[in-house]
Structure 1
């Protein structure tokens, strides 16, 4: 008897596969093999690879927002406050695989490859809008400060993934030093 999987179950296994092997190795065939189902069942829920990748990246964004949500319990004045609050949370080793997928998507986006180009733009825009909700001030100020925070955090996270946690922590200390 063939086990029938829901869209959510397939998406969960797709995320696991992407976290282990990367987005570039995520295929219908590999995913179906992991689930021990026909690749047609995967295609039933995700008609294109673009839709599958987009869904996986959406889950990554949701998970990262969930991790950060607890850190932002009070309004912030500027991007430095956002970064100072977010950095200890996002710099945890358990977040590294999620940011690895995020940066894989960003890399593909910079090469103009779809769906990454569209998805990455939406992810970044979503982060700016979400973080802006934690900043005190008018709409333009909140957006500017949230964009600055995303830029700093992305830079630090990329440094963490490529150069190690000590280098990124040193850079964060220097960037956040108010002297």
Structure 2
């Protein structure tokens, strides 16, 4: 059985990639409310049957969307590596605040993985590591050792994702970002200023 984690092999990748780029543009504009094969097909001038041919089920297509967005985002942010963990947090937050539909799709797929864990096993296994690696790079030299740096990177990821859930649910940007500011202050004191006084 195909899963949302696997690209279809029955059609040349170039065609499905071309369609996927257009689909991502559409769903970023419409959000989850516009995410149905029929709606997408109408916008693309094709049929839902053809989308099933290229991508499989709606879940498989959602998986492709989330993976593509995440990979592109990680590469974009990593292309200008942040010098501190606070800079890394700012880059992550500013990107997703400007692209909230990206996070809506991520959390929707997360909820689907709870419903059908076997079907979404690969998604669950990869949902954390890329971002942990991103935050980890900005913590090298700012922690006692690599194990601590990875633990802090995971804590940072959990915190910013949690605050993003808060923002998506409440829409209360002022208080969410006030909490984000407090978290960054804690990180700055413990992992930026601390690294300067400890000599690495």
8 A Cα contact 1:109 1:116, kept in partner: yes
Aligned to 2:20: 11
Cα pair distance change 1:51/1:105, threshold 3 Å:
closer
Matched, 1:177 2:185: yes
Other structure's SS at 1:72 match? coil
8 A Cα contact 2:23 2:40, kept in partner: yes
Give 1:7 shift: 1.1
Give 1:151 shift: 0.9
Give the Cα–Cα distance (whole angstroms) in 1 for the partners of residues 181 and 173 of structure 2.
12
Give the Cα–Cα distance (whole angstroms) in 2 for the partners of residues 131 and 177 of structure 1.
16
Cα pair distance change 1:124/1:151, threshold 3 Å:
same
Per mean C-alpha deviation after superposition, the further-off stretch among 110-119 and 45-54 is: 110-119
Structure 2, gaps ≥5 residues long:
1-13, 190-200
Other structure's SS at 2:99 match? helix
8 A Cα contact 1:136 1:142, kept in partner: yes
Q: TM-score, normalised by structure 2?
A: 0.67
Give 1:43 shift: 2.7
Q: TM-score, normalised by structure 1?
A: 0.74
Structure 1, gaps ≥5 residues long:
77-81
Give 1:125 shift: 2.5
8 A Cα contact 1:106 1:117, kept in partner: no
Give the Cα–Cα distance (whole angstroms) in 2 for the partners of residues 122 and 7 of structure 1.
22
The 5-angstrom pairing of residues 78-93 of structure 1 reads: 82=85, 84-92=86-94, 93=97
Give 1:177 shift: 2.6
Aligned to 1:154: 161
1:40-75 per-position Cα deviation (integer Å, ceiling 9, x unaligned): 43233213333312110112212332443255343x
Aligned to 1:125: 129
Give the Cα–Cα distance (whole angstroms) in 2 for the partners of residues 102 and 133 of structure 1.
23
Rg: which structure is higher?
A: 2
